[in-house]
């Protein structure tokens, strides 16, 4: 199974500052046939299901604010939130969808400093 490792486990950032966190897969999730990284990022707030933010490692899903951005390729990926807002407090998960079983990272909890 592909292991997705997220770091850090938690992060405290001041309002308006940048938050950056990482996701590493145990095998590459880059497809050589279409040159796409099969990786998504989700945001989960307490008591709610996850909400997808980013697909294909760097494509923002429709309706997601442009302060969210994804980058990376192969095995190393990053989600960044520029100018953190109070409503961004949540747990963020990465997910690989290249292999079965689909696997998620353990999550990064973002809080306000």
Interaction site with another protein (CB under 8 A): 1, 38, 40, 42, 44, 48-52, 55, 61, 93, 95, 97-107
Q: Tokens 């807002």 correspond to what residue?
A: 85
Q: Which is nearer to another protein, 84 or 94 (CB)?
A: 94
Q: How far is the CB of 51 from another protein (least distance, A)?
A: 8
Torsion over CA: 16, 77, 66, 86 (sign): negative
Return d(Cα 88, Cα 26) in angstroms, integer.
28
Q: Which is nearer to another protein, 14 or 44 (CB)?
A: 44
β-strands 10-13, 108-112 pairing: parallel
Q: How far is the CB of 1 from another protein (least distance, A)?
A: 8
Neighbours of 6 (CB within 10 A): 20
Q: How far is the CB of 102 from another protein (least distance, A)?
A: 4
């Amino acid at each position: 199974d592909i292991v997705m490792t997220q770091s850090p486990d938690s992060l405290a950032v001041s309002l308006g500052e940048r938050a950056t966190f990482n996701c590493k897969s145990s095998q590459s999730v880059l497809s050589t046939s279409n040159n796409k990284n099969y990786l998504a990022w989700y945001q989960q707030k307490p008591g709610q299901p996850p909400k997808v933010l980013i697909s294909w490692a760097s494509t923002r899903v429709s309706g997601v604010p442009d302060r969210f951005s994804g980058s990376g390729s192969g095995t190393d990926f990053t989600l960044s939130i520029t100018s953190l807002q109070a409503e961004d407090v949540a747990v963020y998960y990465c997910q690989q969808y290249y292999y079965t079983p689909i696997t998620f990272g353990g999550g990064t909890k973002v809080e306000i400093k």
